[in-house]
């Protein structure tokens, strides 16, 4: 199973993620929780997945984080614990 890629992201994907953080008012606290989780080098499935945090949901596909959702928005894929 792949691990989340944290370096050398495609520029358009990085721009999208930064836009989502801004537009969806993702707090620094939530990003800190995500960073702590990423430090554990979690394995993720090859297809769609998501990880819920108290104030956001991180959605990805394979090794890439694809977007951030606000609470109440519906995520698709396999939920990670």
pLDDT digits (tens, 9 = 90+) for 57-73: 999 999 999 999 999 99
Q: Could you tell me what percent of the chain has a pLDDT over 90?
A: 98
Q: Looking at residue 37, what is its pLDDT?
A: 98
Structure tokens at 37: 């989780």
- DSSP state string for 23-42: HTT--HHHHHHHHHHHHT--
pTM of the model: 0.93
Structure tokens at 39: 């430090």
pLDDT digits (tens, 9 = 90+) for 1-52: 899 999 999 999 999 999 999 999 999 999 999 999 999 999 999 999 999 9
Q: Are 65 and 50 in contact (CB under 8 A)?
A: no
């Amino acid at each position: 199973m792949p691990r989340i890629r944290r370096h050398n992201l495609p520029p358009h994907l990085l721009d999208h993620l930064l836009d989502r953080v801004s537009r969806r008012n993702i707090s620094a606290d939530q990003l800190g929780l995500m960073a702590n989780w990423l430090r554990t080098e979690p394995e993720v499935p090859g297809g769609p997945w998501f990880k819920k945090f108290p104030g956001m949901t991180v959605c990805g596909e394979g090794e890439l984080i694809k977007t951030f959702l606000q609470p109440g928005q519906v995520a698709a894929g396999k939920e990670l614990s």
